[in-house]
């Protein structure tokens, strides 16, 4: 510190009052008391490292959803008849100590006549480099735009089975990516349905009270006391078998959402009962606001953060629910590919013993469910920034 | 206390009634029913005597009447062909697929379902309570992290897959035989010591799988509760005045943290029952799970309806017990202060 600054500081101190004109707004920015609630929530959330990491992972996963066709090396239904139950193929960078870029060793298949199993051996003499941004199996992007562009393709006259193939010789990795689109959206759509129902029932119960409240409460109790899975089973058995796969998909989503709302409705009701007594609600009512406006404009924004947190926590239930239903053969059916459908094909002990790579779809399920759980926990902690 | 019990039982009966209506609507949702499907099939093959028999069954169970009448007959509030004979009278209906009364088909499966769920509840508590106490008292240590991690994994792994994998390794490493609830050689034997031992051995994997998901949630909640209590002044006082650490933990804070825990059984039970249905399907346990799936697929309506009612009643009775335990455990509720 130099002498001039020292005297400045001293003189300022001797006056006790800053000679500069006072501006109440200046300096307030960034201070906790004046930041908006959403900003506070964001700040608190960012401190939760696990939750932030989960959010990044989930964003990455959901970024895949629109570009499934380009990212998968093979088409969804492409069968490689010569490579049934082929084990995963490793991608290498160095051939005999020399850098060649990403390549695979081709598989030589031969039938073991003692066990009647196909045996695959990598031919390490002939590396086949992968192709990037290349033409491969044709597809209609999002069902609309025909194209055949892929980010990565198998080598010319070669194969690229990152996670092996199934009993029909379909590439598991490609199917896994296609499955992500269905499995990840089913959670979101299901939660949207349950969110709407929860808001509606919780909203009318908490706002009107009395008989409406009692009725909704009983309804919540009934739905909550039912074991989910048997009901899911019963409801999905009721879906007409002649529906198209897309309709079945929506049917399953609705079924998952139909049984999940009571938790949300309860949270909404509890919060509403507390908020209803606040002065600002009374003021709005006195000014002639309609119930819909009071609920929608004044009450809901006050506990939206809580709702989003609880909704996030119920997405994994939906994803697991879809997986379980499809696994039992009552959910989505082929040709629709979801992680549950893929696991359904790994449903026997032979898969665990002989073809363990068929169990790979459990990994994305695990990662997604865990990430949603951590994210939900982080959001819940951050939802109330004033505590 | 008796008034409380009575009131609870009455609410439960009302809830069951609503559930029965719901269940009936659901099993009636798919168009057609087992018998009409069968009759069409029989007509096609021209088997006249079987058609007559099926039509007799239709009349006997009133399947040609309006749905609301069918419902009332099913629960036993309206006389059918055989007078008042429904769930209320203890007649669980007829399984068209097996051509036997539902009671004969489900038989042992009911008890085994009950047994599996009971073991799962006991398992969850035996594991969750000590684990939660450990991780709350050893907060932010390596052990706490391990417990939390295991809990999360238990939450995230789909139960059916875990069942499959555990089954495989239990067989490979410990020689537990695959599937079923006891050795297939013992299926039609009377209950002997050997059969019970075989049953216990076979229960290990299902209990682990069914219980794991619930255990994770329980540990997290119990740990949070206990941490709240441990931070309160009375715990500090108890320690300061020299109460032995174990007593200062178990007698007061632990007991306090137990209340929300017991109340939570209500949330846990539907979960466990769901899990047991799923796991039974994968492990082919002779519980109501596989029967339910089969009945739903073939539209064997009374069978499906009865099993759905059974699992719902199972959870409701469990919740009743948890409520009553709470009343007994918590003086504030007992005295009517809350």
Nearest CA in chain A to B301: A234
Instruction: Work out the average pLDDT over A139-155.
Output: 80
Predicted confidence (pLDDT) at residue A27 exceeds the cutoff of 70: no
Q: Which pLDDT value is given to residue A59? A: 93
CA distance A338 to A178: 7
| Chain A residues 233-252 within an 8 A CB cutoff of chain B | 233-235, 237-238, 240
- Whether B318 is covered by a domain: the verdict is no
Say if residue B110 is in the same domain as residue B195.
yes
Which site among A179, A234, A327 would you substitute to test the B interface, given the most B Cβ atoms closer than 10 Å to its Cβ?
A234
CATH 1.10.3720.10 placement within chain A: 174-383
- What is the number of domains present in chain B? 2
* H or E, element range at A108: strand A107-112
Whether A366 contacts chain B with CB within 8 A? yes
Whether B316 contacts chain A with CB within 8 A? yes
Whether B277 contacts chain A with CB within 8 A? yes
Q: Which pLDDT value is given to residue B185? A: 63
Classify residue A375 by burial, with Cβ atoms within 10 Å: 0-12, 13-18, 19+.
buried
Q: At what angle do helices B159-174 and A300-327 cross, to 10 degrees?
A: 50
Return the C-alpha torsion angle A349, A352, A353, A357, nearest 10: 140
Q: At what angle do helices B301-329 and A228-237 cross, to 10 degrees?
A: 160
- Whether B36 is covered by a domain: the verdict is yes
* Three-class SS state of A128: strand
- Whether B148 is covered by a domain: the verdict is yes
Q: Which domain holds residue B42?
A: 2-101
- Asked which of B282, B299, B316 is the last residue of a domain, the reply is B299
Say if residue B136 is in the same domain as residue B280.
yes
Nearest Cβ partner for A373 among B22, B156, B267: B156
Whether B180 contacts chain A with CB within 8 A? no
CA distances to A59, B110, B184 from A56, rounded to whole Å, are: 5, 47, 50
- Whether B309 is covered by a domain: the verdict is no
Q: Which pLDDT value is given to residue A33? A: 52
| Chain B residues 11-70 within an 8 A CB cutoff of chain A | 15, 18-19, 22-23, 26-27, 29-31
- Whether B228 is covered by a domain: the verdict is yes
Cβ–Cβ below 8 Å for A324 and B158: yes
Say if residue B186 is in the same domain as residue B262.
yes
Whether A352 contacts chain B with CB within 8 A? yes
Cβ–Cβ below 8 Å for A352 and B164: yes
Neighbour tally for A178: CB within 10 Å: 24
* CATH topology for the A174-383 domain: MetI-like fold (1.10.3720)
Token reading at A202: 């919780």
**pTM: predicted TM-score of the whole model, two decimal places:** 0.78
Say if residue B157 is in the same domain as residue B201.
yes
Predicted confidence (pLDDT) at residue A241 exceeds the cutoff of 50: yes
Nearest Cβ partner for A227 among B161, B167, B315: B315
Token reading at B172: 């490979």
> A299-315: per-residue pLDDT in tens?
777 777 778 888 888 88
Q: Are B119 and B135 in contact (CB under 8 A)?
A: no
Whether A54 contacts chain B with CB within 8 A? no
Say if residue B201 is in the same domain as residue B113.
yes
Nearest Cβ partner for B277 among A229, A235, A349: A229
Say if residue B96 is in the same domain as residue B110.
no
- Whether B334 is covered by a domain: the verdict is no
Contacts of B167 in chain A (CB under 8 A): 349
- Asked which of B68, B101, B134 is the last residue of a domain, the reply is B101
Confidence label for B180 from pLDDT (cuts 50, 70 and 90): low
> B260-298: per-residue pLDDT in tens?
677 777 777 777 888 888 888 877 788 888 888 888 888
Predicted confidence (pLDDT) at residue A157 exceeds the cutoff of 80: no
Predicted confidence (pLDDT) at residue A25 exceeds the cutoff of 60: no
CA distance A155 to chain B (A): 34
Q: Which pLDDT value is given to residue A199? A: 87
- Whether B97 is covered by a domain: the verdict is yes
- Whether B306 is covered by a domain: the verdict is no
Q: DSSP of A26-90, one letter per residue?
A: TTTTT-TTTS-HHHHHHHHHHT-HHHHHHHHHHHHHHHHGGGHHHHSSS-TT---TT-TTPPP--
Which site among B270, B283, B319 would you substitute to test the A interface, given the most A Cβ atoms closer than 10 Å to its Cβ?
B270
- Asked which of B101, B135, B163 is the last residue of a domain, the reply is B101
Say if residue B87 is in the same domain as residue B118.
no
Confidence label for A28 from pLDDT (cuts 50, 70 and 90): very low
Q: Which pLDDT value is given to residue A378? A: 84
Instruction: Work out the average pLDDT over A257-282.
Output: 83
Confidence label for B189 from pLDDT (cuts 50, 70 and 90): low
Return the C-alpha torsion angle A269, A270, A274, A276, nearest 10: 0
User: A116-130, B101-115, B157-171, B181-195: which range is least confident on average?
Assistant: B181-195
Whether A328 contacts chain B with CB within 8 A? yes
Contacts of A220 in chain B (CB under 8 A): none
CA distances to B113, B163, B187, B200, B204 from B181, rounded to whole Å, are: 11, 14, 9, 8, 10
> A49-103: per-residue pLDDT in tens?
888 999 999 999 999 888 888 888 887 777 877 777 778 887 878 887 778 778 8
CA-based torsion, A353, A356, A361, A367: positive or negative: positive
Instruction: Work out the average pLDDT over A363-382.
Output: 86
Q: Are A263 and A286 in contact (CB under 8 A)?
A: no
Say if residue B237 is in the same domain as residue B200.
yes
Nearest Cβ partner for A221 among B15, B31, B274: B15
Write down the residue that tokens 């390549």 correspond to: A103
Which site among B113, B114, B150, B161 would you substitute to test the A interface, given the most A Cβ atoms closer than 10 Å to its Cβ?
B161
> A108-145: per-residue pLDDT in tens?
777 777 777 777 777 777 778 778 888 877 787 777 78
Say if residue B44 is in the same domain as residue B141.
no
CA distance A154 to chain B (A): 31
What ipTM does the predicted assembly reach? 0.76
CA distance A200 to A188: 18
Predicted confidence (pLDDT) at residue B235 exceeds the cutoff of 80: yes
Predicted confidence (pLDDT) at residue B137 exceeds the cutoff of 60: yes
Say if residue B245 is in the same domain as residue B180.
yes
Between chain A and chain B, the number of residue pairs with CB atoms below 8 A apart is: 119
Say if residue B65 is in the same domain as residue B205.
no
Distance of alpha carbon A322 from its chain centroid, rounded?
Answer: 13
Say if residue B91 is in the same domain as residue B193.
no
Confidence label for B337 from pLDDT (cuts 50, 70 and 90): very low
């Amino acid at each position: 510190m130099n002498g001039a600054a020292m005297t400045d500081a001293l003189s300022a101190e001797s006056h006790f009052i800053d000679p500069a004109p006072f501006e109440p707004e200046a300096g307030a920015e960034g201070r906790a008391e004046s930041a908006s609630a959403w900003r506070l929530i964001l700040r608190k959330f960012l401190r939760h490292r696990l939750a932030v990491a989960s959010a990044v992972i989930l964003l990455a996963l959901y970024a895949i959803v629109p570009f499934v066709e380009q990212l998968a090396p093979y088409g969804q239904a492409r069968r490689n008849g010569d490579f049934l139950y082929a084990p995963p193929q490793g991608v290498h960078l160095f051939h005999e100590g020399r850098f060649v870029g990403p390549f695979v060793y081709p598989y030589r298949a031969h039938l073991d006549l003692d066990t009647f199993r196909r045996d695959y051996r990598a031919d390490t003499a002939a590396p086949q480099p992968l192709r990037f941004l290349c033409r491969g199996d044709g597809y209609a992007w999002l069902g609309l735009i025909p194209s055949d562009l892929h980010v990565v393709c198998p080598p010319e006259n070669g194969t690229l089975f990152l996670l092996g193939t199934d009993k029909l010789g379909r590439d598991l990795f490609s199917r896994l990516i296609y499955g992500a689109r269905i499995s990840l959206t089913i959670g979101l759509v299901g939660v949207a349905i349950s969110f709407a129902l929860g808001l509606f029932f919780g909203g009318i119960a908490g706002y009107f009270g009395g008989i409406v409240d009692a009725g909704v409460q009983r309804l919540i109790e009934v739905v909550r006391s039912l074991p989910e899975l048997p009901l899911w089973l019963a409801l999905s058995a009721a879906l007409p078998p002649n529906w198209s796969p897309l309709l079945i998909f929506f049917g399953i989503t609705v079924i998952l959402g139909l049984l999940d709302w009571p938790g949300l409705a309860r949270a909404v009701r509890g919060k509403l009962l507390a908020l209803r007594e606040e002065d600002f609600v009374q003021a709005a009512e006195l000014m002639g606001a309609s119930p819909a406006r009071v609920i929608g404009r004044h009450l809901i924004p006050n506990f939206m953060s809580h709702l989003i947190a609880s909704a996030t926590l119920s997405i994994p239930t939906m994803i697991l629910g879809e997986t379980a239903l499809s696994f039992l053969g009552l959910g989505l059916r082929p040709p629709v590919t979801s992680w549950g459908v893929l696991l359904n094909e790994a449903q026997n002990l032979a898969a665990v013993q002989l073809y363990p790579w068929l169990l790979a779809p459990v990994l994305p399920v695990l990662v997604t469910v865990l990430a949603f759980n951590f994210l939900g926990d982080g959001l819940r902690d951050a939802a109330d920034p004033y505590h | 206390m008796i008034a409380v019990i009575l009131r609870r039982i009455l609410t439960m009966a009302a809830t069951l009634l609503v559930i029965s209506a719901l269940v009936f609507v659901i099993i009636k949702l798919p168009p057609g029913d087992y018998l009409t499907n069968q009759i069409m099939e029989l007509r096609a093959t021209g088997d006249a005597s079987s058609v007559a028999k099926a039509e007799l069954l239709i009349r006997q169970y009133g399947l040609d009447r309006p749905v609301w009448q069918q419902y009332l007959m099913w629960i036993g509030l309206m006389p059918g062909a055989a007078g008042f004979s429904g769930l209320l009278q203890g007649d669980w209906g007829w399984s068209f697929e097996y051509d036997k009364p539902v009671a004969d088909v489900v038989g042992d499966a009911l008890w085994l379902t009950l047994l599996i769920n009971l073991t799962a509840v006991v398992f969850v508590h035996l594991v969750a309570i000590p684990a939660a106490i450990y991780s709350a008292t050893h907060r932010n240590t390596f052990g706490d992290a391990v417990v939390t991690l295991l809990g999360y994994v238990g939450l995230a792994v789909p139960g059916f897959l875990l069942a499959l994998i555990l089954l495989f390794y239990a067989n490979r490493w410990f020689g537990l035989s695959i599937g079923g609830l006891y050795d297939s050689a013992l299926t039609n034997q009377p209950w002997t010591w050997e059969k019970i031992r075989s049953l216990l051995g076979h229960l290990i994997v299902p209990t682990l799988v069914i219980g794991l998901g619930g255990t994770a949630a329980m540990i997290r909640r119990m740990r949070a509760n206990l941490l709240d209590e441990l931070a309160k002044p009375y715990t500090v006082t108890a320690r300061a005045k020299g109460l032995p650490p174990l007593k200062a933990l178990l007698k007061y804070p632990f007991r306090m943290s137990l209340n929300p825990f017991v109340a939570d059984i209500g949330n846990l039970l539907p979960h466990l029952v769901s899990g047991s249905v799923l796991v039974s399907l994968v492990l082919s346990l002779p519980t109501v799970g596989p029967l339910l799936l089969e009945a739903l697929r073939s539209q064997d309506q009374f069978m499906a309806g009865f099993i759905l009612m059974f699992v719902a009643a199972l959870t409701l009775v469990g919740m009743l017990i948890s409520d009553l335990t709470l009343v007994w455990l918590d003086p504030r509720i007992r005295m009517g202060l809350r």
